[in-house]
């Protein structure tokens, strides 16, 4: 009656691929952050699909936790970025390469 779960999985995979590529290509730190969010959403989608497929609520609960972790991660990430950017006039992620080998 509903859409076969394979479609969702394909969709999630594509979303994940795009998120990963975006992370690597874009140089603006915040956009990289957003790409990470994309990847996380792809994972959530997969969780929900499998929850439905295996008729197990656990999947959805995991999504909940993923959400929480994602939120915490964004908060701390942005705090770091704010602290970092305030200290150094950096426009993109590449300007911060003090830890060069």
Partner 1 sequence: MLASLQSVLLADTSAQALAHASAWAVFLVGAAMILTGAAGVILLRNPVHCALMLVVTLFGVALEFIDQSADFLAAVQIIVYAGAVVILFLFVIMFLGVDRKEAIAAEPTKLQKPLALLMGLVVLVEILALSRVDHWVGGTPALSGALNGPGDNVQKVGQAVYTGYLLPFEMTAALLVIAVVATVVLSKRAGGAGNDEAGAVVAEESSEVTS
Partner 2 sequence: MNAAYLIVALPFAGALVLLFAGRRILDPVSGWFATAMAAGSFVCTVIVWSTLLGRPSTSRSVDKTIFTWMPVGSLHVSFGLQLDPLSILWSLFVTGVGSLITLYSIGYMRGDPSFSRFFFYLNAFIFSMLILVLADNFLFSFLGWEGVGFCSYGLVGFWFERNSAAVAAKKAFVTNRVGDFGFMIALFLMFQHFGSFNYSVVLAPLASGHATLANSTATFISIMLVLGAVAKSAQIPLYMWLPDAMEGPTPVSALIHAATMVTAGVYLVARAAPILHFSPDAQWIVASIGAGTCFLAATIACVQDDIKRVLAYSTVSQIGYMFLAEGSGDYQAGIYHTVMHAFFKALLFLSAGSIIHALHDEQNMKRMGNLRKYLPITFPAFMVGFLALAAIPPFDGFWSKDEVLAAAWHKSPVLWAFGIATAFLTAYYMSRQVRLVFWGKSRWNSAAAAHGAAGDTGIPLSPAAAHGSAAHGSAAHGGGEPHEAPRTMTIPLVILTVASAFGWLLNANFAGLDFINKWLAPIFPATVATPFTVSTGTKWILGVIATLVAFGGLFAGMGLWRRAVDRPELEPAFLAHAWYIDEGISATVSGPLARMATRFSFVVDAGWVDGLVNGVGRSAAGAGRQLRRLQTGYVRNYALAIGVGTAAVLLYVSMRAGS
Least separation in angstroms between residue 29's CB and partner 1 is 8
Task: Please state at what angle helix 58-87 crosses helix 29-54, rounded to 10 degrees.
Answer: 170
Least separation in angstroms between residue 39's CB and partner 1 is 10
65-96 burial string, b = 16+ CB within 10 Å, else e?
A: eeeeebeeeeeeeeeebeeeeeeeeeeebeee
Decide whether 3 or 99 has the Cβ nearer to partner 2: 99
2 binds, among partner 2, partner 1, none (CB under 5 to 8 A by kind): partner 1
Least separation in angstroms between residue 99's CB and partner 1 is 15
């Amino acid at each position: 009656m509903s859409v076969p779960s394979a479609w969702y999985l394909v969709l999630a995979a594509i979303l994940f691929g795009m998120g990963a590529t975006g992370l690597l290509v874009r140089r603006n730190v915040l956009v990289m952050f957003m790409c990470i969010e994309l990847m996380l959403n792809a994972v959530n989608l997969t969780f929900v699909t499998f929850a439905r497929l295996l008729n197990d609520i656990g999947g959805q609960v995991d999504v909940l936790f993923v959400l929480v972790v994602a939120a915490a991660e964004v908060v701390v990430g942005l705090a770091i970025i704010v602290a970092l950017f305030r200290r150094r006039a950096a426009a993109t992620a590449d300007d911060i390469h003090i830890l060069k080998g």
